[in-house]
Structure formats: C-alpha cells, structure tokens
Structure 1
Amino acid sequence: MTTNTSFSEADLEGLVLEWLGDGWRPAHGQDIAPGTGERESWDELLIRPRLLAALRRLNRGVPEQYLQQACAEIAAPASQDAITENYRMHKMFVDGYRMSYLDPDGTEQNPTLRLIGAEETDNDWIAVSQVTLVQGDYKRRFDVALYCNGMPVSIMELKRA
C-alpha cells in the first residue's frame, strides 16, 4: 500500500506562512483587497496606508503634508521597465528618499526619508497569501507576497511537490 505524501499548493502555502510566522504576520489577500483600507486598487500591489504609516514612524519631525507627498512620489513608477523600477526601489530601501521643502520659518529642509527601519521591530512585516493583481485583461494571483512597510519585497509562486 502506498501513501500519498505529496503536498498540494494550498498545503505548501500554509507551511510557508507558518515558517515565516516568526517575523512575518500572516494575512490573506482578501485582507488587503481594495475596499479594506489597504490597497487602493486591483492594479497596484503597494499598500499605501502602511507605507505612509512607516514614513511617519521612521521620519518624525517631517511635516505630514511632505510625508504624503513623498509617499505619492515613491509609489509613482519612473519607468515601465521592471528591472529599472526594482533598482529604483532598492536604492530607496538602502539610501532612503531625498526630498526638499520649506519649513514654517522659510528655511529649506533636505531630509533623507527612511523607508525601512534599522531594527526588525521598526518595520511592519506581513506575508499575504493569494494576492490578486488585475491590470486590464491581465489577472494574476500570487501564492505569497511579502510586504515590508506596505511595499512588496518578494513574490512567491509555489508548485505542488
């Protein structure tokens, strides 16, 4: 008698979320779907409210309006090329986001905003299963998307063993 020891994709997904459980809070794609207060639309993977919350938490002293402006600028792609965009985001993760504004006294401020904190506990880590992305007629469901401070940092596609 043989025993079926292969995992389904759903089993593997659950196992991956369990393994990630020490640092990553598990969630389901429905939890971050548009209309939940998380993702703004089906065609965007970014979770803007979490990014804005991280900018506030990591960059105290920068006025709210400029943090909102930075969030919008960070989220806006500068290129349609995936490699170029990945490099742009990587640079911001490592070097921060440089901006300029005038404070209430009229003095120009040039802070470099941090997107990711130096300590693990400074950041919001979530592992989300079954994240749906819709762009025109193109619909894709990712098995697991890893987010740090609302920014997708990794996508996992799992296959049945």
Structure 2
Amino acid sequence: MAHDYSENILVQESAGNLLHDELGWDVVFAYNQEVLGLNGTLGRTSYRDIILTRDFEKALRKLNPWITDSQVTEAMMKFMAYSATDSLLQINEDKFKMIREGIDVTDVRPGKSASTIKARIIDFDNPANNHFLAVKEMKIHGALYRRRTDIVGFVNGIPLLFVELKATNIDVKNAYDNNYTDYLDTIPQLFHYNAFLMLSNGYEAKVGTLGSKYEFFHEWKRLKEEDEGNVELETMLRGICNKRTFLDLLENFVIFDHSDGRITKILARNHQYLGVNRAIGKPRLG
C-alpha cells in the first residue's frame, strides 16, 4: 500500500510540474500545509469551502470595472446558491450558464427602473487575464465525510478541473470505481462547477464529464491531427490544460443534451475538437 501511494505521489508530482513549468498554472500543495483564513493559503475559511472566494472576488472586480460592492456580494451569493432538490447535473448546468454568460446582478441607476447586467467571471478572449491554479492534496469536508483530492484545477477560484491519479501499476478504471464515484457521494459540492474529469495512472489517461459512465470517458492523445498519438497523462495535460485550449473547450465544446428527456453532459472528443478548429481556421495547441 505504501509503495502504491508513493507511486501515486510520483505521478501527481510529475503532473504538477508540467502544469506549472510548461503550462503556466500556479501550483500549491495543500495537505497539512494549507493555512485557513481570508489571508491564508487559498483564502478558504473552512475545509467545506469549494469556491476560492478570494480569487473569485478579485476576478469579478478585475473583469467588471463598473461593479459595486453590493453587486459583488449579489454575484457571489447567486453563484454559490443551489437548490437541494436539483440533481447534481442540474446544478452543474446552471453554474455552466453563469460561467459562460456571466451572472445577472441588479443595476440601479438614478431616474431609471432597476434592471440587470451581466458580470463576467472568466475572460474567454484573453487567457492571461485569468488566474489558473492547481491545488494538490486538497482537504474537502462534506456533510458526513472528509476527503483529500489529488489535483483540483481552479480558474478564477472556480473548481473546473478534477484529476484523480493512481499508481502506475493500477488500472485507470480503478480511479473511477473506487475514488471518483466515492467523491460524488461524499463531497458532491466539489462537482457543482466541474467542467473536466481526468483519470490517470500516468501511462494512460481518460477524460470525461459529470454523469458519464466510464465507457464514455475517452483519450486525448494528439495535440495536432498529424500526431501519431500518445495516451499518457502528459499528452492530455498539454492538450486540455493549455490555457487557451482549456477556455476554448469550456466555452465552445461542452454541451448539455436534453433530447432523451434527461440531462447528458458531453465534451467533444480530441479529433472533433481538432477537426472543428482546423475547419474554421482557428488552430489550437490542444
């Protein structure tokens, strides 16, 4: 068990280094090192916190220079609120709409009736105008259980990326069966905002979306159509976590399908993403 865990850490270390050194993400190791508090490591006041409100508020003010303190509070409350009667996918779809389109906040001006205005929380046109952060070994407390995730990726304080890693000698499906599904039951709030789910043992990697069965997780093995292809985690990270590609996928290549009477969340496959961008003359690094 100790050997398996150490192998897991080696995979995690390699992924973190690639995200930081090559892809420009900030990377923090949190386990037993995170200091809670508004001025702490991540700005969390509790291990129950999922949104990094310090980064989220900073992005609100940066991307919406007109925003007032009351509008910031309103936007944050709307983004974090959800109905306990909604399914996880319903909550996720609602959050996705806000992420892509912005959050409606009240706009009151002298002599005019109150209206609403959109507050942006991600700058899709300028990747460098956003804060990308990967947190390794993050403690998350649910209503009854406590868990520690391998890597959670945040953009402007929003947990959009979940990465579950196994030792190199463990089948990737084990990450789905034994870890991801457990997190869905014990810390479901982590997935309210999730965009991409990655499962890997280093040598093999799969990506999928909330609600997908394991057989619908797929590989991301090419950065360009002419590449030979590689199913390792490094290729997937380079393909999906390049900042421009990450935002392009988030904005344009995730859909919620209601055609059969239930919600299905679908992420474009590697060849579809490359093919569409090539057809419209928009080359990407993913």
Q: Which TM-score applies when normalising by structure 2?
A: 0.50
**C-alpha distance in structure 2 between counterparts of 1:126 and 1:139, whole Å:** 22
Q: 1:134 aligns with which of 136, 141, 145?
A: 141
Q: Does 1:24 align with 2:29?
A: no
Return closer, same or farther for 1:72/1:26 CA change in 2, 3 Å cut-off.
Answer: same
Structure 2 counterpart SS, 1:157: strand
The residue type equivalent to 1:117 in the other structure is D
Gapped regions of structure 1 (runs ≥ 5): 1-6
SS of the residue corresponding to residue 56 of structure 2 reads helix
CA RMSD of aligned residues (A): 1.9
2-structure distance, mates of 1:78, 1:32: 30
Q: Distance in 2 between matches of 1:32 and 1:86?
A: 27
The alpha-carbon deviation at position 93 of structure 1 amounts to: 1.3
Deviation at 1:46, TM superposition (A): 1.0
1:157 to partner: Cα distance: 0.9
Partners of 2:35 and 2:82 in 1: CA distance: 21
Amino acid in structure 2 at the alignment position of 1:159: K
Match of 1:110 in 2: 116
CA offset at residue 139 of structure 1? 0.8
Aligned to 1:120: 127
- CA displacement, residues 50-103 of structure 1 (integer Å, 9 cap, x when unaligned): 111100000111212211221122112234522112111111111111222313
Distance 1:110 1:32 in 2: 38
Q: Partners of 1:129 and 1:149 in 2: how far apart? A: 17
Match of 2:78 among 53, 73, 76: 73
1:102 maps to amino acid: V
Can you give the 5+ residue segments of structure 2 that lack an aligned partner in the other structure? 1-5, 169-286
Alpha-carbon deviation of 1:143? 0.2
**How big is the shift at 1:44?**
2.1
Which secondary structure state, in structure 2, belongs to the residue aligned with residue 111 of structure 1?
strand
Distance 1:24 1:96, change over 3 A: same
Deviates more, 1:70-79 or 1:117-126: 70-79
In structure 1, C-alpha distance between the alignment counterparts of 2:63 and 2:138, rounded to whole Å: 27
Task: After TM superposition, give the deviation of residue 24 of structure 1 in Å.
Answer: 1.2
2:198 corresponds in structure 1 to: none
Secondary structure of the residue aligned to 2:24 is coil
What secondary structure does 2:165 align onto? Answer: coil
How many residues align? The count is 154
Residue equivalent to 2:53? 48
Matched, 1:61 2:66: yes
